[in-house]
Structure 1
Amino acid sequence: MKNGDRESIDVHVHILAVAAANGARVCAKMRRSLMSLSLGVKYGWRGDDEVFDRAYAERLAREIRESKTTDRAVVLAFDGVYDSSGALDPARTSAYIPNEYCLKLCERHPEFIFGASVNPARADALDELDRVAANGAALIKWVANSQDINPAEPSFIPFYRKMAELKLPLLSHTGYEHCVKTLNHAYGDPKLLRVALDEGVTVIAAHAGTSGIGHPIEYFDDYLAMLDEYPNLWGDLGAVTGITRFKYIPAMLAREGFTGRCLQATDYPAPPIPALFVRALGVRRSLGLSFGGNIFDKDVELKRALGFPDDILYNAAELLPEASLRPRPSQQF
Structure 2
Amino acid sequence: MFPTSTRWLLLALGLCLSTAVIAGLPPSAPFSPAAQALIDRAFSDLDPARPLIDVHVHALGLGQDGDGTFVNPEKLSARHPLKRLETGLYLKATGVKGLDHFDRDYVEVLLARARAFPRPVRIHLLAMDRAYKPDGTPDPIRTEFHVPNAYVLDLAARHPDLITPVISIHPARKDAIQELEACAARGARLMKWLPNAQAIDPANPAFDPFYRRMKELGVVLLTHAGEEKAVAVKGAQALGNPLRLRRPLDLGVTVIVAHCASLGRNEDLDHPGTAAPNFELFLRLMNEPRYQGHLFGDLSAITQINRLPAPLQHLLAHPEFDGRLLNGSDYPLPGVDLVIWTRQLVKLGMLTPNERQALNEIWKRNPLLFDVVLKRTLKDPSTGRRWPADLFQRDPGSLAGKGSAGLR
TM-score by length of 1: 0.89
Q: What SS does structure 2 have at the residue aligned with 1:201?
A: coil
**What is the CA RMSD across the aligned residues, in angstroms?**
2.3
Q: What SS does structure 1 have at the residue aligned with 2:203?
A: coil
Deviations 1:110-151 (A, max 9, x none): 311000000001110000110111111131100000000000
Shift of 1:235: 0.3
Q: What SS does structure 2 have at the residue aligned with 1:91?
A: coil
Between 1:196-205 and 1:23-32, the stretch displaced more is 23-32
1:192 correspondence with 2:254: no
Residues 147-158 of structure 1 mapped to structure 2, 5 A cutoff = 147-158=198-209
**Hey, what's the Cα distance between the residues in 2 that align with 1:285 and 1:261?**
27
Shift of 1:7: 2.3
1:27 correspondence with 2:54: no
Between 1:58-67 and 1:34-43, the stretch displaced more is 34-43
**Residue 83 (structure 1) aligned to one of 133, 139, 142:** 133
Q: What SS does structure 2 have at the residue aligned with 1:114?
A: strand
2:329 aligns with: 266
Q: Is the 8 A contact 2:259 2:301 kept in 1?
A: yes
> Cα gap change, 1:40/1:163 in structure 2, threshold over 3 Å: closer, same or farther?
same
> Cα gap change, 1:58/1:214 in structure 2, threshold over 3 Å: closer, same or farther?
farther
1:159 correspondence with 2:221: no
Q: Is the 8 A contact 2:189 2:220 kept in 1?
A: yes
Give the partner amino acid of 2:304: G
Give the partner amino acid of 1:261: R
Shift of 1:52: 0.4
**Residue 203 (structure 1) aligned to one of 243, 250, 255:** 255
Shift of 1:273: 4.2
Q: Is the 8 A contact 1:79 1:147 kept in 2?
A: yes
Give the partner amino acid of 1:223: F
Shift of 1:38: 3.6
2:59 aligns with: 15
Q: What SS does structure 2 have at the residue aligned with 1:277?
A: helix
> Cα gap change, 1:298/1:54 in structure 2, threshold over 3 Å: closer, same or farther?
same
**Hey, what's the Cα distance between the residues in 1 that align with 2:62 and 2:399?**
28
**Residue 354 (structure 2) aligned to one of 256, 279, 284:** 284
**Hey, what's the Cα distance between the residues in 2 that align with 1:55 and 1:124?**
32
Identity %: 38
**Hey, what's the Cα distance between the residues in 2 that align with 1:297 and 1:40?**
18
> Cα gap change, 1:320/1:54 in structure 2, threshold over 3 Å: closer, same or farther?
farther
Residues 223-262 of structure 1 mapped to structure 2, 5 A cutoff = 223-229=282-288, 230-231=291-292, 232-247=294-309, 248-262=311-325
**Residue 116 (structure 1) aligned to one of 154, 162, 167:** 167
> Cα gap change, 1:220/1:251 in structure 2, threshold over 3 Å: closer, same or farther?
same
> Cα gap change, 1:318/1:54 in structure 2, threshold over 3 Å: closer, same or farther?
closer
Give the partner amino acid of 1:245: R
Q: Is the 8 A contact 2:68 2:151 kept in 1?
A: yes
1:74 correspondence with 2:119: no
Between 1:138-147 and 1:12-21, the stretch displaced more is 12-21
Q: Is the 8 A contact 2:54 2:329 kept in 1?
A: yes
**Hey, what's the Cα distance between the residues in 2 that align with 1:254 and 1:270?**
25
2:29 aligns with: none
2:370 aligns with: 298
> Cα gap change, 1:244/1:316 in structure 2, threshold over 3 Å: closer, same or farther?
farther
1:311 correspondence with 2:390: yes
Q: What SS does structure 2 have at the residue aligned with 1:258?
A: helix
Shift of 1:309: 1.6
Give the partner amino acid of 1:308: W
Give the partner amino acid of 2:75: M
1:125 correspondence with 2:176: yes
Larger Rg: 2
Between 1:241-250 and 1:179-188, the stretch displaced more is 241-250
Deviations 1:43-67 (A, max 9, x none): 1343x3xx00100011111111111
Shift of 1:217: 4.8
2:278 aligns with: 219
Q: Is the 8 A contact 2:202 2:247 kept in 1?
A: yes
Shift of 1:84: 3.0
Q: Is the 8 A contact 1:273 1:290 kept in 2?
A: no
**Hey, what's the Cα distance between the residues in 1 that align with 2:312 and 2:109?**
29
Q: Give unmatched runs, 5+ long, in structure 1.
A: 323-333
